[in-house]
Amino acid sequence: MPAYTIEMTYTLPLFRHGTYIADTPEAACKAALGDNNWESSQKDYDSSGEIHVTGIWEGEDTAYAGSPITIPSQFDEEIQRRAHHFEILLGLLKMLFHDVQAGRSPSVEWHAKSAWAIARGEAILAYAPDPAEPTDGPKPSHVLARLQEERVRSAFAAVLDIDRDFEGLSPGSVSDAEIRSACESIATTMDYSDAVSNAEFHAAIAAIRATQRRLHPD
102 vs 15, more confident: 15
Averaged pLDDT score across all residues of the chain:
88
The continuous run of DSSP H or E covering 198 comes out as: helix 193-215
Q: What pLDDT was estimated at residue 207?
A: 87
Q: 199: pLDDT confidence band, cut at 50, 70 and 90?
A: confident
Q: In this structure, what are the phi and psi dihedrals at residue 42, rounded to the nearest 5 degrees? A: -130, 155
Task: Give residue-wise pLDDT tens across range 33-83.
Answer: 999 999 999 999 999 999 999 999 999 999 999 889 999 999 999 999 999
CA 172 → CA 87, 159, 166, distances in Å?
45, 13, 13
The continuous run of DSSP H or E covering 112 comes out as: helix 108-125
Please answer whether residues 15 and 42 qualify as being in contact, where contact means their C-beta atoms are separated by less than 8 angstroms.
yes
Torsion of CA 187, 190, 195, 199, to 10 degrees: 30
Task: Give residue-wise pLDDT tens across range 91-107.
Answer: 999 999 988 888 788 88
